[in-house]
Amino acid sequence: MLSGVRSAARRKLFRSEHEWLGGSWSELAGGDTGSSHWWTTLENNFVLEASEDQYGGVLVDADRLPSDQAAFARSLAASLSYWKSVGKKGVWLKLPVDRSEFVPIAVKEGFKYHHAEEAYLMLTYWIPEEPSLLPANASHQVGVGGFVINDQMEVLVVQEKYHSLGLDGVWKIPTGFIQASEEIYTGAIREVKEETGVDTEFVDVVAFRHAHNVAFQKSDLFFMCMLRPLSNAIKIDETEIQAAKWMPLEELVKQPFIQEDHMFQKIMDICIQRLRKCYCGLTAHNLVSKFDGRASTLYYNVDEPEDVNCDAA
C-alpha cells in the first residue's frame, strides 16, 4: 500500500509543473516578474529552487543553493532530469563567488560559461537537441567623450597619465566608459568632472563611432558629446590624468596627432560645424514605450525654428 502511494505521488509530481508540492501555480507565484518558485524532492534529491522566465526557461535561485558540493551535485542532476521531463528549455545558473567550488560540478553536467562579474559567475544549459536560442553575453562596451568649449573658444583638454605609444605630449578631450545603468550624456558629464573637476551640462551627441574586436574581442561604441561648461577651475584626477587645461580650439586642431588621424580630424570638423550652427546633433528625450513600459532615453535631431543651437536646414 505504501509503495502504491509513493508511485502515485511520483506520477503526480511529473504530471504538471503547475500542480505539485500540494499547491497550485498561482499559490506559488511571486516576485515582480510574475514567476513561480518551487522546492521539492525527487527520488530523495532536491530539485533546485528556481523561477520560470517568459521563454520557457528557468532561473536558479542563487540564494537557495545547497551548502555542500555533494548535495549540489545530486540536486543539479535531479533538477535537469525534472526540467527535461516538463519541457523546459534554457537553464540559467548563477553561482556566487562563495559557491565557486560548484563550477566544476556544473561544467561536468554540461553547463557553459556565459559571463562573470565581480561577485558571481553565470552559466547556462540548453536542454533541447537543437541550436541554443539563449542570448549571448554582452557584445559591446560603450565609451563617451566630452567636447567642452567656453566663450573664449577654448577647449577643455587633458593629457592622460597612462596611454599608448606615440601619444606622449598629446592633448585630447576627456573620455571614458559609461557605467551600468548610466545614460550616455550623464556618463560624459561625470567623466569630465572626474578627470578635470569642471562642471558641465549636456548639449547634444554630435557623432558616434562603431568599432569591432577592441578589448577582449568585443565591439566598441563611442559617443562624442558636446558639453557646455558651468565652471572654469580645473582640478585633475591625479590617478589618471597627467595634466589638464583650456586650450585654444585652433591650437588643438593643429596638433600633428589630429592632422594625421582621419577619424579625429573628422570629429573636430563636426564639432566646429556644430559651433557654427551648421550641423545639428542628437538631443536626449525621455520617453516611455508600451513595448516594455519603461522610461528610456531616445536621442534624435530636433529641427525646429526655436532651436537656437542649430540653424542647419
Per DSSP, the three-state class of 54 is coil
At 165 the pLDDT is: 72
- Cα distances from 91 to residues 2, 61, 66, 85, 104, in angstroms, run 35, 11, 17, 14, 16
Residue 56 in this model has a pLDDT that exceeds 60: yes
Q: Which three cell numbers stand for residue 146?
A: 566630452
Tell me which amino acid residue 7 is: S
User: What is the grid cell recorded at 66?
Assistant: 545547497
Residue 37: CB atoms within 10 A of its CB come to: 15
pLDDT band at 109 (very low <50, low <70, confident <90, very high): very high
How confident is the model at residue 174, as a pLDDT? 97
Tens of pLDDT, residue by residue over 154-203, are: 999 999 998 777 778 899 999 999 999 999 999 999 999 999 999 999 99
CA distance 175 to 284: 19
Q: If you average pLDDT over every residue of the chain, what do you get? A: 85
User: pTM of the full predicted structure?
Assistant: 0.78
Computed from CA positions of residues 151, 251, 244, 202, in that sequence, does the dihedral angle turn out positive or negative? Answer: positive
What are the cell numbers at 3?
509503495
Q: Which of 95, 134, 144, 143 is closest to 117 using CA atoms?
A: 95
What percent of the chain has pLDDT above 90?
A: 70
Residue 313 has pLDDT above 90, yes or no: no
